[in-house]
A and B are shown apart, each in its own frame.
Chain A
Amino acid sequence: MNTLRVAAAFLRKDFLAETSYRLSFALGAAGTLSGILIFYFIDKLFGGAMAAHLTPYGTGYFPYVFTATAFFGYIGTGAGAYSERLRLEQAQGTLEAVLSTPVTTGSFLLALTAWNFLFATFELLVYALSAVFIFSLDLSAANWPAAALVFFLSAACFASLGILSSCFVMLFKRGNPLAWVLNNFEGLLGGVYFPVTLLPPWLAAVSDILPVTYAVRAFQLTVHKGAGLGAVKGDLLALVLFDAVLIPAAVYLFHLSTERARRSGTLGQY
């Protein structure tokens, strides 16, 4: 109950604060689709060149990159939003005030990015509507229950990475090596913009240790080929293992970094 109350309070506060920047809010909402148009024209120009790599997914380049971008846009929210929000709270001077209340680590983590996830859901809805009404994508083969499971496991995994990343913000304020890796390599090496089979073997080996690789592949297969749980069991198992390790580790390490900030007196610093 208290966690819900805290999450609702954060949602209301962030909604009011974000909509107070009216132009930014409007541009953010309108810009959701602009990126996807780039891929639409890339497909027109070069789409056929990737046909061989896309055969396992049973789709063309544009539908591939469209669903991957929509999917990665949502799960990537977890990866980026924690450190971004925490840094904002530090810079505003509100972090110490928030953590002066008896709010628990779990409630704080669930509430801190609630607004980002809500906005990402709105963006996902825009993607879904444009897929149907603007780009007329054929998603009739999709296995939605399996896709939803992949989605849930992936979102939890990326939120955990985001929480781990925010530990650096809590301790060092600026300089976040995990965010750097997440920003620069997850999209490039994880099969978001092109299938990982295009990568040279040494880079493909790196992509094998990134959760995004398993998440995107499983999501693409369930959405475009209607793959069932059996067909993506390897990817699902990898995601479950990542979750089993990352979720408790992230919450525990965030708690430890907060306690360290309380000890060093740096909660109020930026």
Chain B
Amino acid sequence: MLIEARGIEKIFPAPPLSGGEGLRALAGADLEAGPGVLGIEGPNGSGKTTLLKILAGILRPDSGEVLADGRPEPPRRLRALAAFCPASPRGFYFRISAIENLRFFGALAGSSPEDAAAAAAKFAPRLGLSGTDLGRRFDRLSEGNMQKVSLLRALARRTPVLLLDEPFRGLDAAARSGLLAILKELSPATAILIASHDEHFLREAAPRTLRLFPAGGGAGR
């Protein structure tokens, strides 16, 4: 699948009655990515996460459009086409196990809970996550293992577009190698976009890299 962003602009409004100004995160970002891995780099505040969230249909842009295979797609359709792995693994239910979290989010994405669990279990050992880890309550996992579960949630959806925000954060060397191998395997059929400050691993994962500049500086891509 070919995913495209055209002229994406995003300004986060200031909180009501705060007297502050809105924050311009993207000022006309363009991007095109087909099967393979595309790296996205840029300094803090350059809009990497914002761009990934717009591509994932989580955020709505103020202007511009996102196209899949040349067709403009509404955010809900994008949420079905793209799986997003956020930079922070905060978006999990800490009182239930990792595998129950994966079953839950799998069901919301349209899989049966069993399929979601099986898909996650397929990738888990390659990231160094055991069955015991998956059965452990989420708040008892180390931060690195939380990040692995977060990656599994996105990988298990098997969507044609995979959006990974700082995927290497907190991973040990074996897990990083495992993730690189998984990405290599998926890349012939999946458009994978990775935003990261880890230049070494970004270069290793992505043959092509796009650099974002802060929108306040006048450049959007």
The answer to whether A267 and B100 touch across the interface, beta carbons within 8 angstroms, is no
**Per-position contact with B for A174-198: 1 when CB-CB < 8 Å, else 0?**
0000000000000000000000000
The stretch among B75-83, B118-126, B180-188, B189-197 that forms the contact with chain A is B75-83
Most buried by B among A10, A99, A101, A268: A101
The stretch among A13-21, A78-86, A151-159, A230-238 that forms the contact with chain B is A13-21
The answer to whether A262 and B94 touch across the interface, beta carbons within 8 angstroms, is no
The 8 A-B residue pairs whose C-beta atoms are closest, nearest first, are A97-B91, A9-B107, A93-B90, A102-B80, A101-B108, A20-B95, A102-B79, A17-B95
B31 at interface (Cβ–Cβ under 8 A)?
no
Q: Which residue of B lies closest to A108 (CB)?
A: B108
**Per-position contact with A for B52-85: 1 when CB-CB < 8 Å, else 0?**
0000111110100000000000011101100010
Q: What are 26 contact pairs spanning A and B, CB under 8 A?
A: A12-B104, A13-B100, A16-B95, A16-B96, A16-B97, A21-B95, A92-B94, A94-B91, A94-B92, A96-B91, A97-B92, A97-B105, A98-B105, A99-B58, A100-B57, A100-B79, A100-B84, A100-B91, A102-B77, A102-B108, A102-B110, A262-B58, A262-B60, A264-B12, A265-B12, A265-B59
Chain A residue contacts of B96, Cβ below 8 A:
13, 16-17, 20
Chain A residue contacts of B93, Cβ below 8 A:
13, 17, 92, 94
Q: Which residue of A lies closest to B109 (CB)?
A: A101
Chain A residue contacts of B109, Cβ below 8 A:
101-102
Most buried by A among B50, B62, B109, B137: B109
In the assembled complex, the Cα of A5 lies from the Cα of B15 at a distance in Å of 36
